[in-house]
Structure 1
Amino acid sequence: MSQHVSPDPEPERSSGLEPGGGVPPGETPPAESSMPEAGPRETHNPPKGWAKAPLALILVVTVLVAAFFLAYALVLLL
């Protein structure tokens, strides 16, 4: 089990904090990486890039639409 770290700053360990925990202008607030439990656990990381089947389907539909408009234009001209 991981150890939970409180995201609240500790005044004795944090420099530049104002009363109430605010950060004065010009100071950099604590980074998000200082809070290890900040987001949901990512258990599935999908592969990057396009799969071959969807890409081929998109290309086929594009060619068919372009051919339709080309044939339509030729019919109107003749």
Structure 2
Amino acid sequence: MPDPDPATTPGLEPGGGVAPGDTPPSEAGTSGLSAPEPRLPSRRTNLVVPIVIAVLVAAAALAFFAARL
């Protein structure tokens, strides 16, 4: 039973406390994952994305300064 009723659980004192030396009732738990974990980007993607952003920013800056001439 995942969540036992405290009133009917042996070893509990009035008010829900546990007597010294007693082990509290176990909690409900699940094992494993409920959904598959998402795939993380590859190491190559982690290198390529910042480089592409830097190239785009540099190209925009170059176009800005070329237009001002």
Q: What TM-score, normalized to structure 1?
A: 0.46
Q: Alignment partner for residue 71 of structure 1, among 39, 62, 65?
A: 62
Structure 1 counterpart of 2:28, which letter? Answer: M
| Contact 2:2–2:27 under 8 Å retained in 1 | no
Deviation at 1:34, TM superposition (A): 1.2
Aligned twin of 1:60: 51
Structure with larger Rg: 2
Compute the RMSD of aligned alpha carbons. Answer: 3.3
Q: Which runs of 5+ in 2 are unaligned?
A: 17-25
2:5 is the alignment partner of 1:9: yes
Deviations 1:40-78 (A, max 9, x none): 62286679x864211112112111211121112111221
Aligned twin of 2:28: 35
Report the number of matched residues.
Answer: 56
Deviation at 1:16, TM superposition (A): 2.6
Q: Which runs of 5+ in 1 are unaligned?
A: 18-32
> How far apart, CA to CA, are the structure 1 residues paired with 2:38 and 2:68?
49
